[in-house]
Each structure stands twice: as structure tokens, then as C-alpha cells.
Structure 1
């Protein structure tokens, strides 16, 4: 017994000395970086990147070496911190910034971060802040009883991650369930309700466990590689996300037309079909900008040659489509098929394929299409220009962009362990797997930029890592129910949360596959309701694409007259909201803030808002509560703090703070506008840019007396890169509610661009009283009946009163001069 006790004691001592970071014995400092040296040889490095961002690097070897520099972080110099000071106390070291007090306890080593008011924000859990495990590290952090977590990019399930585990391993999961994990993208960044965010900058198969192991702690871990994470303190979720974007790079802006509607299908792979579908959309007057071509458009994967027999005159096809306002997007795959393909022989000879570490020859990847393939090694610098020449061929023919598909690469999920034998130029596959798609998208964009100067890229990707927003947009993979397409309601509902989460991962421009990708459609009338509701949600995705597998057609007219009518109306609404959406697209570029936002982001103090997974804010002014359940005609809508006006009737008001029933028949999307808002819109067009001189309609939902409503409209050329040079125009509008009416100021601010030399502004003001007079810059304005208010071709100043709608309409030519409108009741 005594021997056994001694053995247990020895094992315990060994366990504590090996597994837990031990006592700090000294520190060294170099400007804004402090390294703490431990008795066991491990080291902890803290780099103060700004007054609110700290880079934490634990290395059990003490060498601080890494195989590759960060694939995600592009800017660590967030603030000129200068030479920091370290205060040494008997039991701890302390570092102060203007926002944080950082404390590192000596024995055992423990990192704690307080705000400037000495409130504990973030802490290692006891002595387990960094626990080595073989080549990996697991980090345990204090968990508060009321702490909530949001983020990790595209993930299924509830928005609040508390009580769940997640892995980072890009996975090809068609028809994924509402709880399946992992799926196609890995973005190891999350935010806590305690005003901090964590970005674990490690590309291996990291894991996050938010309170599943204990009520006292949560953890994140990586099996290999440098254990580096960034602590980001912020006043709210928006502040934290902005700082994450500053670290990892701004999202690129899509071309204007990308925000229109897009139609796709798995077997959209024929010239005659593309022209027929385009003609049918125009005939039925359903707005659309984009037609996709899926994987079978090429002769071979991935030679970028049009498939013989399917395309007789691709240049002519693209010219016809362009003349009718269409853009075409074609797919890319990151592989080259081996069979009867001269491109394979060329790439193999040049050494451009990922190698099999067992043979040092090209790894043979089984591929869902085209048999065995070579996997292109996009981490090899020489590959970039070679790939760029190939992908330029269809661009020169007239296509408008790509969707990079299957970039996990496909069939490389956790169970596919043979893929771990792949050796890339920059490392083994266990390190490169999660960034494989990112390195591909980087090549696609940089080569596009090189060969198409001053032109915005359209690139939409399935699989990527943190930082993808610098190169590409996203879609939420192959959703839907493959076993029973009619039973895809829960998958559709969870797409709302998956999309909101995409935005939290730095992907503001994304789409769901409207209709769901999975499942054979054999009964179109039975599918009509699901399709209609998916479209009514999907038009509020910044990028809106209808897509389905195989030859399952999902054009609006396939589902019957009622579904066509209702989906057409939803698409038309998307186009009407384009000025609003495009303004938020610029904000997304500048700040990284998502366009579709969880209620918790706009209302972080509203505890009920944090529980809502099936509604979202569309920008800051508009609340969307799509109908997501079969047969539902009354939607219970949660209204956050404030007052909300029914966007559909522009009359009914709802007081925030509770769930209320809202009638939503098949032709209705529950949409609400925050009181005290201005929403810019435009007339329905068949495609973005169909008319240059369209009027801007400012829908004004006035605030209370002595309060204001305001908006700043953003406009630019829409397809070139001048936005990166800040060449654009702004139109500031402020509506002040006064005792006897309204006082409205419009102030243009042109920075090398203005949209039109001849267009109108139309103010649509929600008010109960017909005014007695309207003046513009002190001059009385002529009243006309509503039916005679010509907003598109007449450029005189006019006003009208809509008694039924209880709204005042004021038309003013936009002469890019300051305008003051006084409205007297």
C-alpha cells in the first residue's frame, strides 16, 4: 500500500510539473512585447498591439518558432503603443494600457485581464491557462454563470455557443443537419458577453468547448503549431468585431450587380439553356442580374475550356447575355482531372501538385466529378501565375467572375485520414487543410487583379479560413434535406443563424442556396410554400442565389402562379432596397460589420434579443422576421427595445420588449423599421444599372418632436476599384421633427463621383397630418395630386399628399447642392 501511495504521489507530481505551466522566474521586454520565462522552460509572450488588443503566445519549448507566419493576420500594428512598462510585485507582474490592466501571476503562472475600472474581464482558470499536451496546448478560461458566446463563423445550431463544442476542420458536408459540426469554413474567432473576443490564430484542427466540461471553465485547444491567440477588448460586440477586422483585413466590396438576384442549378451547363432561362426571366419581368454555370461547364477539370457540344459560341452567348443585362459566373475546382487531360501532364511535369509524402509523387485525390485528380498546390508561389493564365481565358471570353467550389478540398473530412499524407509546399496537410481554400482564393483574386486592372472581382467561396474577406465572398454550403426535399424547413430556419454567424466571422457578403441545395423535387406544387418562404428570407441575404442540385429547376415560375407572384415581389423588394443595401456594403468594407446582424449585436443589453436565432437586423434600421415554419400564417415576432413600424403598411406601430403576433400570409414578409429612421430605396429595375438616372426615394419614419432621423446614402461607380481611393459620393439627410411639422436638410458630399446629372430625390414622410405648406430653400412648392407626381422624367419641385397611406411626398431635383425643406402642418 505504501509503495502504491508513493507511486500515485510521484505520478501526481510528474503530472503537475509536465502538464501545467509552472512558476515564472523572470521576464524580458522589448518595446511593446514582454516575455515571461518559466522554471520548466516554457515561455509566455504578451504583445500589446493596442490599448485593447493583446497577442498571447505560449510556447512550451520557449523557442517561439512557427512553421508559417499567420495566414489571417495582416496588421498587428494597431496603435503606436511605444515602450510599455512592467510593474513587478511580489506575486505578479502588471502592465497597464489606457483601457486594460493586465496581470500575470507568478506561481502558478496565470494571465488575468481587467478593464480600467478593475473589473475582471478575462482570466486563466487557476493554473490551467496553458496546458501542454504532446505537441499541442489546451487553454482553460474562467466561465461566468451568465456568460454567453457568439461567433466561430459559419456554424450550425443556436447563435449562442454556450454549452456546445466546436471543431475547426473544413468539411464537405452536403445536406448538413441543424447541429452538424464541423462544416465548410473555419474561423476561430468568438466574442463573449463580457466584452472581449478571442481569435485563436492556429490553422490545425482546433477545438472550442464552451462550458461542456465544467460550469467553471471553458477551453480552446490546438493539437499542434504555434499556440497564438489575440485578446480583443471592446465596449460592445461591434467594437470587438471592428478590431478583429483591423487585424485580419477589410472585406472587399462586390460589384453593384452582385447585390442583385442570381439563378443557378447543378446542371446549368449549356449555352442554349442559359439563353432560354435569361429570356424567360426578362419575359416574366422578374429582376435578375446573374446566371451561374456549375461544374460541368468545363471540358476537363480544371482547364477553363468550354465543354464541347454544350457551348457552340460561348463568346456570342456572353455577348447576348450582357446586352440583356446579365452577368455569368462560372465555377472553379482546385483540382485537375487525370484522365485524358493534357493540363494534368503539364502541371505534373512542373511539380504543381500537392505531393504524397509516402511516394513524393502527386497525391491522387478521388473526386466527386471526373475521377482521380491532382490537387493544385496553391501554397507554391510558381502556381499563381500559371493558374492565373488559365482562369483568364473565360474572363476574356466575357464571364464576370467565379465561384470557388469544393475547396476543403472535397472528400477531406475528419474520417478521411489518408489526406493527412498530402504534403504542400508550406507544410503537411494537417496544418494547411483549413487554409487550403484561403490560399486558392488569394491566388484567384491576386491574379484577377493583375490581369484585370481597376476592376472588382466577384468570387464566392465555399471553404476558407479567417481572413477570407480580403479575397472573396461566401455561401453557406449545400443546405437542405436530401432525404426529403419537402422536409427542409428546419434546415432553412437554421440558415438564418448560419448566415448571421458567417457575418460574425468577417463574411458580410454571403448567400444561402435559396430552395436548399439538396433533394430531388418531384412535386413542385408541394414544394411551393417552402420555396416561397426560402426566397422571402433569401432576398435579405446580401448576395441572393437560388440553387439546387442536379437538374432540379428552381426558377420562380416552376412552382405555380401564386409562388411566382410572391417570389417575384420578394425579388423586386430586394432591388428597391438596393440604395440601402449598397450603403451598408460600404460600411461593411470600412468596418467589417455584417449587413445581416443578430439582434444581440444591435441590442447587447436586451437579454431576450440574445436568444433570438430566427430573426435579424438588416443594417441598423430594418428588422426582418422571415416565416420559417410550414403552414405558419401568424409569426410571433420579438421586438427589441424601441418602437417599430410595420414596413408593409407603413402605419402600424409595435412597442419593443416583447413577442407579438403578426399576420403573415404567403404574400407577406414580416419587416419592420425602427422609429426615427430613414430608408433610401429606388424604383424596381430588371437589373442593377438598367437606368442611371433613377430617383432615390427616402422613406422617412420621423422621430418625436425635437428629435431627429438621419441617414447617409453612399454611392460610387460600382465596378471599378475607385472606392479604395475614397472616390464616391455621400448624401446626408436629416429630418428634424418640430412643433409645427418637419425641417429636413439634404447635404451632398461628392468626392470625385456623383451618380447622375439629372435625377430626383423623393421624400416619402410618414405623418398623420396633411401639411398646410411645403417650401424648399425658402420658396413655396407646388402641390399636385399624387397620381400626377412624376418622379422619373419631370424635374420640377412638387409635393403631394397620400390620404390613404398617410404620407407626404416631396419631389426635389438632385442638383448636388444643399437643400432645406420646411413642412408646416
Structure 2
């Protein structure tokens, strides 16, 4: 291991025109095995390389211990070759990608990637007076706060900070880092359930502030080109993450903080959900109505009435109310036989008059006050305590309740109010104060459930619906949603932005209560447009207060008709969507992707009204009433085909006004792509991965290839266990022929079976003179610009289809 010690030098130089904290005096640098130690007069910097695209910097002030534990990071640093270049004025430590530049006087740390400046510390770490924001004045209380400040360039667009409704560019805001629900929000919400200490720049870098306690992110609110992280306490640690592309950047971040496990396939189906089902009879009757109307459904979610008849005063019972649900186990079993899974709500609050209070207090599983008694306080639902999930007894007690729920047959668990909804700062969690764990309580709650599954239900993929979390929450299988959005057009308008932003921050399954949650607004046009958007959103879950039905089966004939079409399309898209889930699991790639992922143009950085669903769908939701036409930008990287109207093709690289139809939102498919779809089923239990439609969008004579992942949809870690298949479809152009090849690869424990596939070639405006399947000629004519070829394929063998070109 090389070591370099640089003596303190009194030399003046010019550095960018930005200066570091002028009082910080450089002393020396030691190169360590995987990084650096920089000694300054008021403390020490420890710099660690995780890879050539991720570097971590921690500042340890004099007299303080380094806090080693991270709430977010799971990546182990790998050995990186570091090349030092030392001069009297500057020390540079370079990897193949990122490099750290230390200017000695004035002291400053700058990060570069491939020779270009990424970012630099401005003041670096400092302490100063806390100036509270009005919206969190009673929540974030401190005389002074600790801060880390960076330089920005004037043209950077900034994303991140968690779930907010602000517009895509969040620059100019000082944002609280204090998870808190925002009931009935619409187009503007500066504080919501997920606050994440992560900033993403349009220059393709991220800064993750690796600290759990509450604070702020200031994204240049003073208009002085400064980015400032601010906290009441904790680690002075951040990671700088870079990438060659947007996908690469997000993959690097999710390598650092963890990948989302692949959920069960039924997660991608339709949910029946409302606040809430009051009885067993009402629950079963609702599912019977779906089946009577032949509207596919895969799960039903029971809100808090499963453990009590009233909203207030029953939270914490956490056992079946047998008056309302006399045979919960039997009901869940009967629903399961119909292909419908049951999800039950839980909360971390145990009311002092609930059935579990005495037991929880006696077993010392609750957070405490200053003298060690269960901490009690009032909120909307009653007088409450909160489970101490940071204590072994608390974890075990809570997990045993979940085991009872799972043993009833429940296939999903809903964790609500996990911000936590109300958590006074005086509450103690053993050696941790409430403000230190407030933002990660929801994440650690999800971890408790996820760890329990891994230990006791090892083959099952958990479904964990959660309303709050932090950086890294995705690795515990958390399915987040955007909270209590208003049931209005304004509520709908903010949803694509929230989902796109959260996907970039690792939480690829962020979704909304389809149709809107809050209020008694009965608007069928709004409902239909929200559900049409929901087809191309990670989770399809209409949910709302019960004064207006959230389920399509209880809406008007108009709403029911178009909701049914949307849900049926969602089911037909299961192969495509499941492959998106697999990509997210392997690379962290979001299911919903901003349009600038496709075309890296400054003018597209603030666009959330058109986005990509996976690689090959371009989606423009209808976010206002009575829209008859829509202006859409079509990325120049491809030509785009109207998904619903086969004859329309639009050349990429232009903005075009398109007609908006009642039956669907504007949906376009990339030319040259293969889209794998399935036959319609009423539940994913009946999904047949061997009866498929393969749509190929013939465009330019350019070769293209797509792969599709498949497994049984249920077994945990199926890919790692070798229980999977990957289907590969390739289009090749040679002279006067189009050749389409089918190939497959399998895990070592997968038993492939024959597939019936309808190959549908779009944009073929002639009758091919010759079509050969595996060398044998078949006679088929094209109709309405499509050619449909029925195929039987043994995936153990390659299959070739050869079509003469015009």
C-alpha cells in the first residue's frame, strides 16, 4: 500500500473563483488502501472509493468519533487502482473514472469524471445558526445545524429530494427532510411522505448525503449557485456518484444502496382497494362483482376495518374483528381459490385503549419517554404509543403479529402511517432519539418484514406496500405510493413527475391511488384518464375514500367500459411489464423513465408530461379535462408508431399535435421493437407464458434485438436459483429479406415447454412473395398493414422466420 504525506504549504493559488471555508487549513494527506485521509486543522476527511464511479467523503470534526453505520449503503468497496499526482499546490488522486482534486490553499475538494469537473465543495462542512422553515418550525428544532455546501454551475437542473410536487426542476427550493403526509395535495407539495437526502444533476452526477436524522436540502434557494445539505446531527458523509448515461448513473446508485427484489407477478395485476371494506360480506361481494363483470382482478386490500368498526379508537388491535369478519381465514382461502390475494393493513401505532396496549407495555416493546415509561401522545386516531422496531423485543413482537396475519393466508402486507404520521421529538428508541430515526422508520419497518420473510418464508416474494421511506428502501421490496392525493385533475397532474423522480432515486414502483384518494369528487372523465395512465404506471391500484367508489365495477357504464379496457390491456402487457420488473431488479432501471433518458437535451429536462414506459413505449397521459388534441415531442432516436391505430407512423425528432381519443391516451411504440404480450386472463393465476403474441414494428432496415425474462412469478430469487427462461427475438435484414430469429436460454433448473406464438408484424404494406418458417414455405397475406404468422416453437431450438421484402 502506497502512502503519501504532503506537508502543509503556505502557497496561494487561484481555484475556479470558488473558495472553500477560508478558515480550514490543510496539513497533510495519507493515501490508504482504498482512498485517502486528509488532515486539516479542525478535523479529518476520510475519502473512500467504492468503484471508479462512486467515491465517499466523510468529515470527522476534532473531538468527534466517526459514525460508521449507514442507513443506505450496502455496497462493499472494491479494490480500485488510484494514481496520485502530487505537486506543491495540489494533490490529485485518479481512478479510471472519477478523480479527487485537493487544492492545498485555499483548501478545496473538487471531483472530476473523465477530465470534466463534476462538483466541488464550496464551504464543505460547517456549523451555523438554524433558520427554520415555517412548514416544519415545530418539527425541526435546533439552535445550530451542521451543513455541507457545494458549488453548482448556473445551468444545472436538479432532481431528487424524495417525493414532491414541484415540477421536474427542483432548483430554487429549500426542502425539509422530514417525512410527513400531505393530505389532499394537488399540483404543489413541498413536503410529502418520502424525503430522500439525494440530489441528481442534469450533468449526470448524484450526491447522496448518507445521514438519517432530519434536516434540509437547499437547492440554490439563495440563487448563489450553492447546494447545501443541512442536518441536526449525525454523519458528515456523502457519496458522489457518476455515470456514462442516465441508466448507468442509476445502476451505480442502486449498486450502492441496493436493488429492488423482483416482486410476485400478481403485483402487476389489478387491485381492488378502498378506505375501506367494512365486512367479510362486503369484501366477497366486491370480488364477485368483478368476476360477474369479467374485469380482471388479482388482489383485494383491507383497510383498518379488518380489526375494528371505527376509524378512531381501534388502531393497534391488530387482530381480526370477528363480528365483521367471522371467518377471515375461510374468506381469504375462498378468494385465493378465485385467484385473488388478500392484503391487510397495519400501522406502528398502538392506542392506549387498544387490545394490544397492555401486552405491548408489559413486554416493553414500545418507544419510551424520558423516564422509561411507554411514550404516549395524542393524534387523530387516539392516544397512542409507537412500536420500538429498533429493539429486539419490539421487532420480535411485531413480526409475530405479521406471522399470524400471514398464517391467515394473507399474501401482502400494507404498512401505513410510517412517516411516522406523528412522532414527537422527545420520544426515545433505546439509544436513539425520534429525530434521528424519523425519516428511516418506514424503511426499517419494511426491513423488519423483509428480513422475517427471508428467514421464515424463504421461497415467497413479499408484497410490502409502504407510504414512507428513505434512500435504500427499495432493497427491502418496498412498494411505495404517493400518498393522499386529491381526487381532482390537479391531483392527477403531479403524478407522472412524482413517479419519474422516485424512479430516478431507486424506488421504481412509486405509483398513485388511481382515480385519486381525497374528497368526494365524482368525475368519470378524470377517473378514466387516471386509469388509462395507470396502465403505464408501476402498480395498478385504484384506491379512494369510500364516499365515491374507487372500483370500476361500481362506476357508471361509461367509466366501467373504459376502465375495463385499460385493465385488460394491463393484463395483456404482463410479459412486457414483468420484463421491466426484471430489468429493475438487475440494474435498478426505472419502469417509468424521463424522456431525457432517450434524448439528452436540456430542453427536455423539465418534461414530465411525456415519458418512456420501459424502452419501447412513449406515453403522454391526459392530465386535463376535455382534451381533444395534444402536442407531443417524439425523440429523434426512432420513428414512433401509434399503438392503437396501426396506420399512423411519426418520424422522430419533431413536435407534433396529435388527436386525442376517448378510448385511450396517446401511446406510441418505437420502430424496430419487439413487444411481447399475452392472452387475456382474469387473474395472473391463469397467466400462460406459453401462449403469447409477439408484435414487431417494422421500420428502417436496421437490425434489432429484445430479450424477455420469465419465471414462475412466485418463487423468491428464481433467477439466482436457475428457475427461469430468457426469450430472445432478433430482426436481421439481408439483401431482400427480413429474418426474425427466436432463441432462448434457460436457468439450470428450468424445464422449457413448447410455445404457441402469434407473430404480428406491423407496418407491412404489401403481401410478401415468400414467407418461410424453419425453411418451410407458408402462405399468409397481410391485412390492414399487419402480417400475422401463427407459430409453434420449441425453445430448445432456434426458430427462423424469413420474409421477402418489397
Q: So what's the TM-score if we normalise by structure 2?
A: 0.91
**Residues 94-128 of structure 1, C-alpha deviations (whole Å, 9 max, x = no match):** 11111133211112221112233x32221223xx2
SS of residue in 1 equivalent to 2:380: coil
Query: Which residue matches 2:43?
Result: 42
Q: Does 1:81 align with 2:93?
A: no
Of 582, 590, 595, the residue aligned with 2:591 is 595
Of 249, 272, 275, the residue aligned with 1:266 is 275
Of 766, 784, 804, the residue aligned with 1:804 is 784
Inter-partner Cα distance in structure 1 for 2:749 and 2:316: 40
Of 713, 716, 719, the residue aligned with 1:718 is 713
Q: Structure 2 stretches of 5 or more lacking a match? A: 1-18, 130-143, 309-313
Q: In proportion to residue count, which structure has more helix?
A: 1
Q: In the TM superposition, what is the alpha-carbon distance from 1:283 to its structure 2 partner?
A: 0.8
**Residues 706-730 of structure 1, C-alpha deviations (whole Å, 9 max, x = no match):** x112210100111111234343100
1:339-358 equivalent positions in 2, closer than 5 A: 339-341=353-355, 343-357=356-370
- Greater shift, 44-53 or 801-810, is seen at 801-810
Question: Alpha carbons of 1:754 and 1:396: their partners in 2 closer, same or farther (altered >3 Å)?
Answer: same
Query: Which residue matches 2:566?
Result: 570
Q: Does 1:168 align with 2:177?
A: yes
Q: Does 1:150 align with 2:159?
A: yes
Q: In the TM superposition, what is the alpha-carbon distance from 1:651 to its structure 2 partner?
A: 2.3
8 Å Cα contact 2:640/2:649 also seen in 1: yes
Query: Which residue matches 1:394?
Result: 405
Inter-partner Cα distance in structure 2 for 1:753 and 1:541: 32
Inter-partner Cα distance in structure 1 for 2:728 and 2:183: 45
Question: Alpha carbons of 1:704 and 1:426: their partners in 2 closer, same or farther (altered >3 Å)?
Answer: farther
8 Å Cα contact 2:584/2:591 also seen in 1: yes
8 Å Cα contact 1:151/1:159 also seen in 2: no
Q: In the TM superposition, what is the alpha-carbon distance from 1:23 to its structure 2 partner?
A: 1.2
Q: Does 1:453 align with 2:490?
A: no
Inter-partner Cα distance in structure 2 for 1:500 and 1:276: 36
Query: Which residue matches 1:775?
Result: 772
Q: In the TM superposition, what is the alpha-carbon distance from 1:21 to its structure 2 partner?
A: 5.0
Q: Does 1:123 align with 2:135?
A: no
Q: In the TM superposition, what is the alpha-carbon distance from 1:377 to its structure 2 partner?
A: 0.6
Inter-partner Cα distance in structure 1 for 2:589 and 2:65: 33
SS of residue in 2 equivalent to 1:393: helix
Query: Which residue matches 1:235?
Result: 244
Of 243, 246, 252, the residue aligned with 2:255 is 246
Matched positions, count: 765
Of 333, 356, 361, the residue aligned with 2:373 is 361
Of 727, 737, 744, the residue aligned with 1:741 is 737
SS of residue in 1 equivalent to 2:182: coil
Query: Which residue matches 1:656?
Result: 652
**Residues 465-514 of structure 1, C-alpha deviations (whole Å, 9 max, x = no match):** 11111113333333433xxx4xx112101111011112112111232101
**Residues 38-97 of structure 1, C-alpha deviations (whole Å, 9 max, x = no match):** 12x22222112211211011222264422x7111111132x3226x45443212221111
8 Å Cα contact 2:679/2:688 also seen in 1: no
Inter-partner Cα distance in structure 2 for 1:756 and 1:568: 33
Of 357, 372, 379, the residue aligned with 2:390 is 379
SS of residue in 2 equivalent to 1:513: coil
8 Å Cα contact 1:599/1:612 also seen in 2: yes
Q: Does 1:30 align with 2:32?
A: yes
Question: Alpha carbons of 1:801 and 1:563: their partners in 2 closer, same or farther (altered >3 Å)?
Answer: farther
1:298-337 equivalent positions in 2, closer than 5 A: 298-299=307-308, 300-337=314-351
8 Å Cα contact 1:20/1:131 also seen in 2: no
Inter-partner Cα distance in structure 1 for 2:354 and 2:56: 50
1:694-705 equivalent positions in 2, closer than 5 A: 694-705=690-701
**Residues 766-805 of structure 1, C-alpha deviations (whole Å, 9 max, x = no match):** 1112112221221223x3xxxxxxxxxxxxxxxx434224
Query: Which residue matches 2:633?
Result: 638
**Residues 660-692 of structure 1, C-alpha deviations (whole Å, 9 max, x = no match):** 222123212210011111110011111113143
Inter-partner Cα distance in structure 1 for 2:492 and 2:667: 18
Note the aligned Cα RMSD (angstroms): 2.1
Q: In the TM superposition, what is the alpha-carbon distance from 1:20 to its structure 2 partner?
A: 5.2
SS of residue in 2 equivalent to 1:218: strand
8 Å Cα contact 2:640/2:670 also seen in 1: yes
Q: Does 1:106 align with 2:104?
A: yes
Inter-partner Cα distance in structure 2 for 1:686 and 1:650: 26
**Residues 546-600 of structure 1, C-alpha deviations (whole Å, 9 max, x = no match):** 1002443221133311211111101111111110000110110001111011112
Q: Does 1:432 align with 2:459?
A: no
8 Å Cα contact 2:83/2:95 also seen in 1: no
Query: Which residue matches 1:210?
Result: 219
8 Å Cα contact 2:722/2:750 also seen in 1: no
8 Å Cα contact 1:606/1:640 also seen in 2: no
Q: In the TM superposition, what is the alpha-carbon distance from 1:201 to its structure 2 partner?
A: 0.7
Q: Does 1:95 align with 2:93?
A: yes
**Residues 606-655 of structure 1, C-alpha deviations (whole Å, 9 max, x = no match):** 23322211221100111110111011121222212231111111221112
1:133-148 equivalent positions in 2, closer than 5 A: 133=128, 136-148=145-157
Inter-partner Cα distance in structure 1 for 2:654 and 2:168: 20
8 Å Cα contact 1:27/1:37 also seen in 2: yes
Q: In the TM superposition, what is the alpha-carbon distance from 1:289 to its structure 2 partner?
A: 0.5
Q: Structure 1 stretches of 5 or more lacking a match? A: 1-16, 413-418, 784-799
Query: Which residue matches 1:751?
Result: 747
Inter-partner Cα distance in structure 2 for 1:696 and 1:64: 59
SS of residue in 2 equivalent to 1:69: coil
Q: Does 1:708 align with 2:717?
A: no
Inter-partner Cα distance in structure 1 for 2:505 and 2:54: 18
Of 794, 798, 801, the residue aligned with 1:818 is 798
1:173-212 equivalent positions in 2, closer than 5 A: 173-212=182-221
Question: Alpha carbons of 1:230 and 1:176: their partners in 2 closer, same or farther (altered >3 Å)?
Answer: same
Inter-partner Cα distance in structure 1 for 2:446 and 2:759: 43
8 Å Cα contact 2:242/2:249 also seen in 1: yes
8 Å Cα contact 2:549/2:555 also seen in 1: no
Question: Alpha carbons of 1:277 and 1:816: their partners in 2 closer, same or farther (altered >3 Å)?
Answer: farther
Q: So what's the TM-score if we normalise by structure 1?
A: 0.89
Question: Alpha carbons of 1:339 and 1:26: their partners in 2 closer, same or farther (altered >3 Å)?
Answer: same
Q: In the TM superposition, what is the alpha-carbon distance from 1:304 to its structure 2 partner?
A: 3.2
Q: In the TM superposition, what is the alpha-carbon distance from 1:217 to its structure 2 partner?
A: 2.6
- Greater shift, 198-207 or 21-30, is seen at 21-30
Inter-partner Cα distance in structure 1 for 2:482 and 2:668: 29
Query: Which residue matches 2:511?
Result: 511
**Residues 228-267 of structure 1, C-alpha deviations (whole Å, 9 max, x = no match):** 1000121122211111111111101110111101011112
SS of residue in 2 equivalent to 1:685: coil
